[in-house]
Structure 1
């Protein structure tokens, strides 16, 4: 396994060096990571909102069942049917325990939802910061490109055409005028 670990470390080091030498690519990679994290956070939020709504609906339905069993307990007691009243109380207690469990699950979903929203806010803030850095890096690179334009550009001489080059025409006119002036002076 050490060969794979060494190779993995080597690749990671090379990638880090490459990204340090190309900061705009590093920013793009970070922005892509943040976009993916934002997508995941949004999925989590949607999932937890759905889960919360589902649990709320289950709790409401269970509350109606608890009320019905509570009424049955009272009805059985008033009719003197203690055997039915006891079983109805047991059912009511079971439903209350289920309700408590669902309530706990709903509170956990609410907490996860709040955490997801906080995370999404942090991701979006970080994304805005990185986008600002990327714009700044682009502006800096554009200035650098303008300052170094010429020496590092390759000129395609195959497309150079003397007949259509305005600079060539201007020089020819100037050279002809200069020759005419010299001829006039020599005469």
Structure 2
């Protein structure tokens, strides 16, 4: 197992070194992580909102049941059925406790929705910052590459000035001198 651990550690170190040497890739990876977090947060918020709606519906159903049992309590009392009125009051009280419990759950869900929306805003802000840095890094990299090409072409031109310009004074002097020498040699050959 140690060999696999060492290999895994080696590969992780090489990956971290590669990312450090290529910061634009690190920004891309970070942006991708933030995009995934944003999707997860949106999904969580949607799930929580569905849960809130479900709890609201449960509370409405319980409220209707409470109203029904309250009416039964009143009816039983008005007809002198204290035994039924007492049982109906216990049922009504039980439904109230259940409704309060679900109300508390719903309030907790609402707080989680608020926090997930705040988290989403933070993630979106951070992602915007990363996108800006990535754009800056891309522009800097393009500028560096353009400057490197310019320096390379300038170096090439300065190391061989005749490469791009048609006139080189030294070259002209040598050609004139070589032509004069050739003329002198031809004159001497004619005079013989």
TM-score exceeds 0.5:
yes
Distance in 1 separating the partners of 2:4 and 2:82: 74
Which runs of 5 or more structure 2 residues have no equivalent in the other structure? Answer: 154-162, 184-192
Instruction: Report the equivalent of 1:143.
Output: 143
Instruction: Report the equivalent of 2:89.
Output: 89
Distance in 2 separating the partners of 1:50 and 1:6: 47
Distance in 2 separating the partners of 1:38 and 1:109: 19
Distance in 2 separating the partners of 1:90 and 1:4: 66
Runs of 4+ in 1 over 6 A off after TM superposition: none
Higher Cα Rg: structure 1 or 2?
Answer: 2
**By how many angstroms is 1:59 displaced?**
0.5
Q: Secondary structure at the match of 1:149?
A: helix
Instruction: Report the equivalent of 2:127.
Output: 127
> 1:86-115 CA distances to partner (integer Å, 9 max, x unpaired)?
111121122112111211110111011011
Instruction: Report the equivalent of 2:157.
Output: none
Compute the TM-score of the two structures, normalised by the length of structure 1.
0.78
Distance in 2 separating the partners of 1:140 and 1:117: 34
Which runs of 5 or more structure 1 residues have no equivalent in the other structure? Answer: 153-166
Instruction: Report the equivalent of 2:104.
Output: 104
Compute the TM-score of the two structures, normalised by the length of structure 2.
0.76
Distance in 1 separating the partners of 2:7 and 2:53: 49
Distance in 2 separating the partners of 1:117 and 1:98: 29
Distance in 2 separating the partners of 1:42 and 1:68: 39
Q: Which stretch has the larger CA shift, 46-55 or 33-42?
A: 46-55
Aligned length: 162
Answer yes or no: is 1:19 the counterpart of 2:5: no
**By how many angstroms is 1:67 displaced?**
1.2
**By how many angstroms is 1:10 displaced?**
2.2
**By how many angstroms is 1:116 displaced?**
0.6
For the aligned residue pairs, the C-alpha RMSD in angstroms reads 2.5
With over 3 angstroms needed to count, the CA separation of the structure-2 counterparts of 1:93 and 1:138, relative to structure 1, is same
Q: Which stretch has the larger CA shift, 97-106 or 122-131?
A: 97-106
> 1:114-163 CA distances to partner (integer Å, 9 max, x unpaired)?
111011000000001000000100110010110112759xxxxxxxxxxx
